[in-house]
């Protein structure tokens, strides 16, 4: 670079540094044992992957081994009880079903609506739209327990003052997964090529007609996949619910709007898992198996959906 | 061609350039959708308000100096030094990252530079499963498998003896497992985005695969890799269930992995469900710690988002 | 100068027709039939009513002007071609005619664009109505991911057109010279068709809403020569009932099908290093290709300049 020519763009800088590294790497001092070192390197990489996979396997196997003894219909029909023989997850399952049902009702219109606005209507150059963009990305990474505090301060108490009811838990979970739904929906909507919109508008369709009849139908498989994945997260999330009244000892099936105590599957599992008795912990493991089975079903459905209906442009 | 036989009904409807109807529906829909998007801003504002309100009330009673610098945390006895909680979080997250970074990056490099396409196609989704496992399940794994294992293999009195029922190391390993997919997935994406031209240039000069991976691809993807690590730390710091189950509930200012520690999230999880009267300073500690947690993760998230934007701009 | 060299020089100077005249004179078979080049079997050329009147139209994207000072008339029931090298704003201009530039937030249109005497950019004008009357066919065929039937029916449905949908679809497909090929597979996905068929589908789709004008932005540039020929034939048929404006890179195509041709060029702005498009010459196609008035036009149509 003796004549003072310096790459100025980021791209050029990266290319130059890459070239420099490659040249030095290739022509620099080669250790005599480089073959051995390469082999060790690959070995280490392989070990890393194996440890990760092993960890996953151990989690699943451990849960299965611990809980298989408790796999029976009583798991689903048994009530919360301190007697490990009779205890089950009935209330928790009802609670989770109600929770997820309401979450879906809230998150689908709000999430798709926000995604449609941001992708189809908003002028992307404006600063406030970019702020909303950044905001949503940040919200997707806020710890779950902070959402619990939010729910506690605004929904259970505060302005909405709904009390410690299940519906409050649902609203909180909905806020928790909404950013993920918005982000996934936006990707799906963005994947629809602009030529489709142009073709529709050029025929004299209005913007909403174009969205409703062309863009949305084409984006639905991707949107649905995103929603299912977000719901999966909501099913397994316990931390915020702890703050909203789910930690009580409940022996009857919850009512969504009644201030009479409620629980959910992950919370119940947590309670069983935290107890010292071995028997009760086996119950927790069985609950985990149940929850994982449900999640496996949901995710497989999502993958099937995507493979079957995905539009290839 | 038969088109000529039909009457030419393509006659112009001139002078009809105005809208047939005012189309209020379009505007209404646009407004409705805009509201959905604005809701996200409302949420963030609400989070900030829900934390700042009580937190500022808290700081009227407790001096910030006491909160941030003292090492004793026992709100029931008017001791408000938050450092033990922070130390608890750091303790767990530290061991978690020591576990997850090599494994995550190793997996990423392997999948991006070495693995044949078919291996990559199967292993990558399997690692994603790890990300989808609910944290209660991982916490359970910590209690039922990791802690006993550590207790069994622990070398004697090292660092003060084998870990107890609650210990930071087991929690760290569990959290590490939880965040490995974040690091491996995002780093692998970043490395895959590096243009093949860079690799090919190096190979053409005679570099070995290891050299290309470590000296060419890795540095080129660095901002994406760092972004993934920062995001993983943020996730780890915000995790509640694992630390609740595995790390313990005793505030403890230490980074010794064998000890029983309480993380910030665990404190919030335990206290906010308890029977402490609302409106008391003790209750407000929940919001103070929550505010601290939010600020820490907020800055990490913003950093990570920015880094991702930078590498995306460069290569896409 | 040798005979050959003289021939070549005359060919350059007098355009494609001249070359054929000479070829015939030398006893060679002209490889291009004169009739295909000029189809002046009509006397009513330059005296039709104006569909569009452009007056000092300038289009700016952000701060860069893409075209400047465009002013000419486009006549009814004719094919008007916009030709010129890349980047001189032909597509930009044609998109002004149906207000598709509205979709680009940074685009600004100055000057007057009149449609049958009415200001297309007037305050009360609804772009949706404009696009119903002025249709567009794009460079890359863009059928919807639906059945052939639903592709055609989409326009009439969203516009609330009355009548039997089956009839409307059939009529549009017949006018688009596609009916015979697809009448037995109307419910099949449009993506299964070949490129040429897809483009004819897009034309038929456009016809289904019964427009007044059809704009075509390089409709054949993504197609093979046989499909191109078919579409050109279709254009000539459609000209009886619709006014057509076509942007094309292919000068021979312009020479083959159009009645009037506007030649664009790109100028470099002295102070700002911007490229701005301008119309150099606008005239009968035959004149543009045989005896152009401007040297730049001549350079382009004789192939001296790309």
The CATH number linked to B94 is: 1.10.3720.10
In C, which residues are within 8 Å of B4 by CB distance? Answer: 237, 240
Whether residues C146 and C253 fall in one domain? yes
B94 within domain boundaries: yes
**In this predicted structure, what is the pLDDT of residue B76?**
80
Do the Cβ atoms of C103 and A196 come within 8 Å? no
Average pLDDT, chain B: 86
**Which parts of chain A fold into alpha helices (H)?**
10-27, 34-67, 74-77, 90-116, 127-139, 144-150, 166-190, 194-202, 207-210, 216-236, 239-243, 265-273, 278-309
Contact B290, B51 (CB under 8 A): yes
Determine phi and psi for B154, rounding to 5 degrees.
Answer: -65, 130
Specify whether C22 is located in the same domain as C104. Answer: no
Structural domain boundaries enclosing B282: 80-315
The pLDDT of residue C25: 44
Helix or strand holding residue B79 (H, E): strand B79-80
Checking if the pLDDT of A144 tops 50, the result is yes
pLDDT of residue C19: 45
B169-194 residue pLDDT tens: 999 999 999 999 999 999 999 999 88
Structure ipTM: 0.87
CA B96 to chain centre: 13
Is B160 within 8 Å of B256 (Cβ atoms)?
yes
Q: Which of A151-165, B295-309, C121-135, C236-250 shows the lowest per-residue confidence on average (mean pLDDT)?
A: A151-165
Among candidate residues A176, A174, A143, A151, the one with its CA nearest the CA of residue A244: A151
Measure the CA–CA gap between B269 and B135, rounded to whole angstroms.
14
- Which 3 state secondary structure label does DSSP give C85? coil
Do C49 and C12 fall within a single domain? no
What's the Cα-to-Cα distance from B209 to each of A22, B117, B266, C20, rounded to whole Å? Answer: 11, 16, 45, 63
Q: What is the predicted pLDDT for the residue at C16?
A: 46
Q: Could you report the per-residue pLDDT of B206-257, keeping only the tens digit for each?
A: 888 888 888 889 988 998 999 999 999 999 999 999 999 999 889 989 888 8
Tell me which residues of chain A, numbers 78 to 137, contact chain B at a CB-CB cutoff of 8 Å. Answer: 109-111, 113-114, 116-118, 121-122, 131-132, 134-137
Local confidence band at C244 (pLDDT 50, 70, 90 cut-offs)? very high
Which residue is associated with the tokens 């660092």? B159
User: What CA dihedral angle connects A10, A12, A15 and A20, to 10 degrees?
Assistant: -110
Taking phi first (over 0 means left), then psi (-120 to 50 degrees means alpha), and beta for anything else, what does residue A160 get? alpha
Which residues does B82 contact at the CB level (< 8 Å), separation at least 6? B67, B68, B70, B73, B264, B288, B289, B292
Instruction: Find residues 154-213 of chain A whose CB sits inside 8 Å of chain B.
Output: 154, 157-158, 175, 178-179, 182, 206-208
Mean pLDDT to the nearest integer, B281-292:
89
Where helices occur in B133-274 by DSSP H, the ranges are 135-141, 147-153, 168-193, 196-204, 209-211, 218-220, 222-238, 241-242, 264-271
B66 within domain boundaries: no
Residues 6+ apart with CB under 8 A from B244: A270, A274, B139, B265, B266, B269, B270
Residues in chain A: 313
Residue B262 maps to a domain:
yes
Contacts of A91 (CB under 8 A, 6+ apart): A79, A80, A250, A251, A252, A253, A254, A262, A263, A268
- Residue C297 and residue C282: Cα distance in Å, rounded? 10
Within a domain: C10? yes
**Strongest mean pLDDT among A244-253, B172-181, C49-58, C246-255:** B172-181
C4 and C97 belong to one structural domain: no
* Separation CA A22–CA B246 (nearest Å): 46
More confident residue, C167 or C306: C167
Cα–Cα distance, B270 to B267 (Å, whole number)? 5
Same domain, C20 and C64: no
Q: Is C73 left (phi over 0), alpha (psi -120 to 50) or beta?
A: beta
Rounded Cα–Cα distance for residues C51 and C116 (Å): 5
- Domain membership flag for residue B295: yes
Structural contact between residues C246 and C261, judged by C-beta atoms closer than 8 angstroms? no
- CA–centroid distance for A65 within its chain: 27
Q: List, for residues C155-169, the tens digit of each pLDDT value.
A: 999 998 889 999 999
> Do C107 and C28 share a structural domain?
no
Structure tokens at C40: 């002046």
Residue C97 lies inside a defined structural domain of this protein = yes
What would the two tokens of residue B42 be? 């409302």
- The separation between CA A59 and the C-alpha centre of its own chain, rounded to angstroms, equals 19
Question: For B196, which DSSP code?
Answer: H
Is B178 in a helix, a strand, or coil? helix
C-alpha distances in angstroms, C5 versus A189, C1, C303?
Answer: 61, 6, 17
Give the number of other CB atoms < 10 A from CB of residue A290. Answer: 20
Q: Same domain for C2 and C50?
A: no
Nearest to A199 among C105, C142, C158 (CB): C142
Q: For the domain covering A72-309, report its CATH number.
A: 1.10.3720.10
Beta bridge partners of C83: C263
Q: Does A145 touch chain B (CB under 8 A)?
A: yes
Contacts of B16 in chain C (CB under 8 A): 129, 133
Q: Are residues C110 and C12 in the same domain?
A: no
pLDDT at A307: 83
* B49 within some domain: no
- Which of C50, C132, C241 should one mutate to test binding to chain B, selecting the residue with the greatest count of B CBs within 10 A? C241
DSSP state, residue B158? G
| Nearest-CA distance A13 → chain C (Å) | 27
The Cα A166–Cα C3 span in angstroms is 98
d(CA B300, CA B129): 25
Give the residue, A84 or B281, on which the prediction is more confident: B281
Domain that holds residue C12: 1-33
CB < 8 Å to A195, chain C: 138, 140, 142
Ranges A71-85, A160-174, C175-189: which has the least confidence: A71-85
CA C272 – CA A270 distance, rounded (Å) = 68
C9 shares its domain with C155: no
- For residue B13, tell me if it sits in a domain: no
Which tokens hold the place of A241?
């619910």
In a shared domain, residues C219 and C96: yes
How many whole angstroms separate alpha carbon B279 and alpha carbon C46? 87
Domains: count for chain B: 1
Q: What's the CA gap between C288 and C275, in Å, rounded?
A: 24
* CA–CA distance, C173 with C153 (Å, rounded to integer): 11
Both structure tokens of B122: 């199967």
The dihedral built from the CA positions of residue B250, B253, B255 and B259, taken in this order, carries a sign that is negative
Q: Does C38 have pLDDT greater than 70?
A: no
Domain ranges of chain A: 1-30, 32-70, 72-309
**What is the CATH number for C131?**
3.40.50.300
List chains adjacent to chain A, taking adjacency as at least 3 C-beta pairs closer than 8 Å. B, C
As a dihedral over the C-alpha atoms of residue B293, residue B300, residue A175, residue B96, rounded to 10 degrees, the angle is: -70
CB A236 within 8 A of CB B136: yes
Element (H, E) at B132: helix B117-132
Q: Residue A135 is encoded by which pair of tokens? A: 């905001």
Touching partners of C (3+ C-beta pairs < 8 Å): A, B
What value, to the nearest 5°, has the Cα angle with vertex B85 and ends B84 and B86? 90
Query: How far apart are the C-alpha atoms of C66 and C47, rounded to whole Å?
Result: 30
First and final CA of chain B: distance in angstroms? 48
Q: Out of A251-255, A292-296, C37-41, C180-184, which region has the weakest mean confidence (pLDDT)? A: C37-41
Indicate whether B16 belongs to any domain: no
How many residues are given for chain C?
Answer: 306
């Amino acid at each position: 670079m003796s004549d003072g020519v310096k790459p100025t763009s980021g791209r050029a800088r990266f290319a130059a540094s890459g070239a420099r590294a490659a040249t030095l790497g290739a022509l620099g001092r080669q250790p005599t044992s480089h073959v051995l070192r390469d082999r060790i390197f690959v070995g280490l990489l392989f070990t890393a992957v194996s440890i990760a996979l092993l960890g996953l396997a151990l989690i699943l196997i451990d849960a299965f081994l611990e809980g298989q003894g408790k796999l029976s219909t009583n798991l689903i029909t048994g009530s919360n009880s301190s007697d490990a023989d009779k205890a089950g997850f009935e209330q928790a399952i009802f609670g989770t079903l109600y929770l997820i049902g309401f979450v879906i009702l809230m998150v689908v219109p709000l999430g798709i609506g926000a995604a449609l606005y941001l992708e189809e209507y908003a002028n992307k150059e404006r600063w406030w739209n970019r702020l909303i963009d950044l905001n949503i990305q940040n919200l997707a990474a806020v710890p779950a327990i902070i959402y619990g505090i939010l729910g506690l301060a605004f929904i259970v108490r505060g302005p909405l003052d709904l009390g410690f009811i299940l519906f409050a838990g649902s609203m909180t979970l909905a806020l928790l997964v909404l950013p993920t739904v918005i982000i996934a929906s936006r990707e799906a909507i963005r994947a629809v090529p602009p030529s489709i919109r142009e073709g529709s508008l050029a025929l004299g369709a209005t913007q909403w007609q174009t969205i409703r009849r062309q863009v949305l139908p084409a984006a639905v498989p991707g949107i649905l996949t995103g929603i299912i994945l977000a719901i999966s997260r909501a099913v397994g999330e316990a931390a915020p619910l702890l703050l909203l009244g789910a930690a009580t000892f409940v022996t009857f099936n919850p009512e969504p709007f009644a201030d009479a105590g409620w629980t959910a599957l992950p919370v119940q599992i947590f309670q069983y898992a935290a107890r010292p008795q071995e028997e009760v912990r086996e119950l927790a493991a069985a609950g985990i198996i149940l929850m994982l089975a449900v999640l496996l079903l949901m995710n497989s459905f999502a993958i099937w959906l995507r493979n079957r209906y995905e539009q290839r442009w | 061609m038969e088109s000529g036989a039909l009457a030419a009904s393509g006659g112009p409807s001139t002078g009809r350039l105005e809208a047939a109807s005012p189309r209020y529906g379009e505007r209404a829909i646009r407004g409705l959708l805009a509201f959905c998007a604005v809701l996200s801003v409302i949420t963030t504002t609400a989070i900030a308000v829900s934390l700042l309100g009580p937190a500022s009330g808290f700081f009227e009673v407790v001096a910030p100096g006491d909160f941030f610098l003292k090492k004793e945390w026992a709100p029931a006895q008017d001791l408000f030094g938050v450092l033990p909680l922070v130390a608890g979080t750091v303790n767990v997250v530290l061991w978690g990252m020591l576990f997850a970074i090599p494994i995550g990056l190793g997996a990423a490099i392997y999948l991006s530079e070495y693995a044949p396409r078919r291996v990559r196609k199967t292993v990558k989704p399997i690692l994603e499963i790890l990300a989808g496992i609910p944290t209660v399940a991982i916490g359970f794994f910590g209690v039922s498998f990791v802690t006993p294992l550590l207790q069994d293999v622990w070398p004697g009195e090292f660092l003060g003896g084998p870990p107890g029922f609650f210990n930071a190391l087991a929690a760290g390993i569990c959290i590490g497992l939880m965040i490995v997919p974040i690091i491996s997935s995002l780093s692998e994406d970043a490395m895959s985005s590096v243009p093949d031209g860079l690799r090919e240039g190096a190979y053409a000069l005679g570099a070995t695969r290891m050299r290309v991976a470590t000296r060419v691809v890795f540095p080129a993807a660095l901002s994406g890799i760092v972004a993934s690590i920062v995001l993983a730390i943020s996730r780890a710091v915000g995790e509640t269930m694992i630390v609740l189950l595995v790390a313990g509930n005793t505030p403890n200012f230490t980074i010794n992995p064998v000890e029983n520690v309480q993380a910030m999230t665990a404190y919030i999880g335990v206290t906010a469900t308890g029977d402490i009267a609302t409106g008391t300073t003790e209750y407000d500690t929940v919001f103070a710690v929550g505010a601290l947690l939010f600020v820490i993760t907020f800055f990490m998230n913003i950093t990570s988002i920015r880094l991702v934007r930078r590498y995306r701009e460069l290569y896409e | 100068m040798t005979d050959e060299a003289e021939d070549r020089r005359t060919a350059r100077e007098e355009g494609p027709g001249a070359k054929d005249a000479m070829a015939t004179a030398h006893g060679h078979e002209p490889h291009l039939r004169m009739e295909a080049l000029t189809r002046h079997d009509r006397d009513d050329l330059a005296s039709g009513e104006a569909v569009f009147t452009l007056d000092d139209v300038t289009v700016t994207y952000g701060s860069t002007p893409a075209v400047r000072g465009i002013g000419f008339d486009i006549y009814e029931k004719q094919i008007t071609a916009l030709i010129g090298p890349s980047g001189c704003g032909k597509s930009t201009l044609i998109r002004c005619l149906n207000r598709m530039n509205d979709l680009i937030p940074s685009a600004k249109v100055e000057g007057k664009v009149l449609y049958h005497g009415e200001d297309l950019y007037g305050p009360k004008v609804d772009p949706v109505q404009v696009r119903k009357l002025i249709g567009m066919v794009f460079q890359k065929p863009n059928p919807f991911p639906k059945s052939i039937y639903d592709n055609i029916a989409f326009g009439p449905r969203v516009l609330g057109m009355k009548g039997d949908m089956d009839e409307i679809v059939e009529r549009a497909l017949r006018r688009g010279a596609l009916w015979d090929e697809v009448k037995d597979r109307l419910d099949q996905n449009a993506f299964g068709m070949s490129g040429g068929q897809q483009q004819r589908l897009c034309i038929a789709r456009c016809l289904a809403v019964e427009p007044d004008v059809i704009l075509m932005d390089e409709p054949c540039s993504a197609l093979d020569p046989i499909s191109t020929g078919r579409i050109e034939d279709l254009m000539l048929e459609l000209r009886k009932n619709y006014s057509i404006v076509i942007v094309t890179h292919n000068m021979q195509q312009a020479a083959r099908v159009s009645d009037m041709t506007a030649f664009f060029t790109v100028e470099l702005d002295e102070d700002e290093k911007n490229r701005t498009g301008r119309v150099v010459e606008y005239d009968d196609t035959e004149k543009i290709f045989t005896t152009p008035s401007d040297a730049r036009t001549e350079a382009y149509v004789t192939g001296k300049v790309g």
